[in-house]
Amino acid sequence: MPRKKFLYHATCNALVSSIRKDGLGNTTRTMWEDSVPGVVYLCEDREEALDFINCSNKAWEEFGVDGEMKIALFKIDPDGLDPAKLFPDKNILDFPEGFFEYHGVIDPKYLKKIKAK
């Protein structure tokens, strides 16, 4: 389903250690009110992934300090994902191409942290 070689997911840097231990999506925590617990939201463009976490009021409320929030960006090899669990993102209505939902846990071995800000 993805057209590009990698997918991206940005999150708060404070969550990286638990993601590296338990995988991405192994939580009931969400950063958006319309997000579904246990679903990982991915996109083909790394800057879009960063924009999503930067626009999350919930993330800022929980992890923002003095007007700053440390962000981690994960690069994910889609070959490590179960295609039966990968769907277009239902929350992106205007331009849904390149945005995905993964209904499951992404194993840490398929995650590469490429940027923290």
With a CB cutoff of 8 Å and minimum separation 6, the contacts of 100 are 1, 2, 7, 41, 42, 43, 86, 87, 88, 89
Q: What is the pTM of this model?
A: 0.81
Number of domains in the chain: 1
The CATH number linked to 11 is 3.20.170.30
Residue closest to 113 by CA, chosen among 3, 4, 15, 5? 15
Structural domain containing residue 82: 7-116
Identify whether 1 is part of a domain.
no
- Which residue type does 70 have? K
**Contact status, residue 107 vs residue 40, Cβ threshold 8 Å:** no
Identify whether 2 is part of a domain.
no
With a CB cutoff of 8 Å and minimum separation 6, the contacts of 65 are none
pLDDT digits (tens, 9 = 90+) for 1-23: 666 689 999 887 878 888 899 99
Identify whether 85 is part of a domain.
yes
Identify whether 45 is part of a domain.
yes
Pairing verdict, β 71-76 and 7-12:
antiparallel
pLDDT digits (tens, 9 = 90+) for 42-54: 999 998 888 877 6
